[in-house]
Homo-oligomer: A and B are copies of this chain.
Amino acid sequence: MKSDLPKVAHPAAGRTLVEWVLDSLTGLDPATVTVVVGHGAERVRERLPTGVATAAQAEQRGTGHATAIGLEAIEGLSADDVVVVLYGDTPLLTPALVSSLAGLGPEETGRIVVTTMDDPTGYGRVLRDDEGAVVGVVEEKDCTPEQRLIKEVNAGIYAIRAQPLEEALSLVSDDNHQGEFYLTDVVGILASRGDRLMAVSASSEEVAGINSQDQLAEVRTELQRRVNHRLMESGVWMLDPQRTYIDDTVVVEPGARIYPGVHLEGATTVGAGAQVGPDVFARDSTIGAGATVWYAVLRSAIVGEDCEVGPYASLRPGTVLAKGAKAGTFVETKNATLGEGAKAPHLSYLGDATIGARTNIGAGTITCNYDGFEKHHTEIGEDVFIGSDTMLVAPVKIGDGAVTGAGSVITRDVAEGSLAVERNEQLEIPGYAERRRGQRSDAED
């Protein structure tokens, strides 16, 4: 992967790869779930869901060794318990496959996932007996010419009862080129003592592991397709689901309309009838029912029902727009509340501010919240009319129904219903333009 992040901790559609693998357990109800962690253990652990145990594999001595460590970590394991062994980098596994894998009949020792590949080069070939049971897996280098023609390969995913699994693992050897204990060897060991594994077939896509950025991108595309499919099935409209990036953690209500170039991340929610996009990024934000948000960036912002945001708006953390409020074009907000129906249509920076209902913020308005040392608050009442290009030097308070004149720098509080203005006389110098042009001509001589 050429990345510092442990492979299984890479995110895809809002969950890490290992979380997606754990999702495939949905149809079971496992007594315990243990993740064996090695390289980058801490970064994997912090991304695991609660209730999942971990076991540390200090040295990377192979998949058989990892499985043994995982088994040791499970308390109260009974001989007949079914142990499901999955890889952390196969996030496309489905609950249907894993449920089928784990559904052993009372007489069965275990099951193994197999898949058929057009070109099986490099994979362990599956050997079956006359009844179809798997009796061995032969690695490429040990294949006879006939075995090399087998296209059914081992996907490396098993469900085996605890006792035979432990017994077989204890017989696995590390006498091989890599000096590792391979889980794969368990199949042959079990077969040699008469324990056959039933095969569960899967598509090669479903069990594919990830070993490159390319494969990560492909798997992410498939996981995103599944998330978007689920949302569309529920009644969400998408113009181009292939260009719509929605984390699995996001809630989008039926009837919402999502345009391309939209990224919805984390704990974001979108209400019914909302239009989101084109080209919106929203993380941990709320977009209310019937709101229109387009060409905008939202981070930890709350946009109420029927609000309008954008085109070209940035709502930063602590932004709250009440019902019907507007943060329009070239408007940035941060730690700012706009009351019901309040509007900031253009070219404004509203930071550390409370703005009352129905107040209109003129174009070019700026809350001067920073004095070079710390941030101060601006409080604007209801039904206020802030003139264009008003500088509100915080801390400052504008009373209900007040008005400010265009271009004013407001440094003192304004009483309810007052007009506040800071301005000079407009002077006019006739003929200025012509004289100026003349001077320039002289200068150019």
Contacts and interface: CB of A to CB of B under 8 A. Distances in A.
Contacts of A431: 417-418
Contacts of A312: 297, 312, 314, 330
A415 B232 CA distance: 61
Interface in A431-445: 431-434, 436, 440
Given A346-B349, A427-B421, A239 B220 contact: yes
A367 to B, nearest CB: 8
A419 interface: yes
The 8 closest A-B pairs by CB, nearest first: A2-B235, A419-B432, A213-B232, A407-B409, A349-B363, A372-B385, A419-B429, A368-B388
Contact-residue size bin, chain A (C-beta under 8 Å from the other chain): 35 or more
A414 interface: yes
Interface string A413-427: 011011111111111
Interface string A382-408: 000101110101000000011101111
A239 B245 contact: yes
B391 A391 contact: no
Nearest to A437: B373
Given A3-B235, A372-B385, A420-B428, A403 B278 contact: no
Contacts of A261: 260-261, 278-279
Contacts of A278: 261, 263, 279, 281
A387 B371 CA distance: 8
A391 B388 contact: yes
A331 to B, nearest CB: 9
A364 B407 CA distance: 11
